Homo-oligomer: A and B are copies of this chain.
Amino acid sequence: MREVLARVGDKWSILIVMNLSDGPLRFSELQRTIDGISQRMLTLTLRGLERDGFVSRTVYPTNPPKVEYALTPLGDSLRCPVNALGDWVQKNLAAIEESRRAFDGEKVAAAE
């Protein structure tokens, strides 16, 4: 359970799932789309998602090689609760940031 939450809660995992929701993408397309992810992390995260059955990996034995990643039905079903969480964050982001400012402000005041 914790392991699964670790996968799901992972920053890159979520971004990859989001980006695949519109259709399959190639390795390099993902890397270009996600912005900030290193090749290493993309590989590692994709392997993890594949292992958990969230994405499928299809190799086209052409030259140059071409590999497509797509959401499985399981991965697709994950989008729903994840989107709910994303929506919640967007709705409450302002409140959270204000709370942070207030909290940090107190600390400064207390330090003086």
Residues on A facing B (Cβ under 8 Å): 1-2, 4-6, 8-11, 14, 50-53, 74, 77-78, 80-82, 84-85, 87-90, 92-93, 95-96, 98-100, 103-104
Q: Which residues of B contact A1 (CB under 8 A)?
A: 89-90, 93
Q: Which residues of B contact A50 (CB under 8 A)?
A: 103
Complexed CA–CA distance, A96 and B81 (Å): 16
Complexed CA–CA distance, A96 and B1 (Å): 10
Q: A9-B8, A88-B78 are in contact. Are A95 and B51 (CB under 8 A)?
A: no
Q: Which residues of B contact A100 (CB under 8 A)?
A: 51-53
Q: Which residues of B contact A98 (CB under 8 A)?
A: 53
Once the chains bind, are B99 and A52 in contact (CB under 8 Å)? Answer: yes
Complexed CA–CA distance, A95 and B51 (Å): 11
Q: Which residues of B contact A104 (CB under 8 A)?
A: 51
Among candidates B6, B14, B95, residue contacting A11 with C-beta atoms closer than 8 Å: B6
Once the chains bind, are B77 and A81 in contact (CB under 8 Å)? Answer: no
Complexed CA–CA distance, A73 and B1 (Å): 27
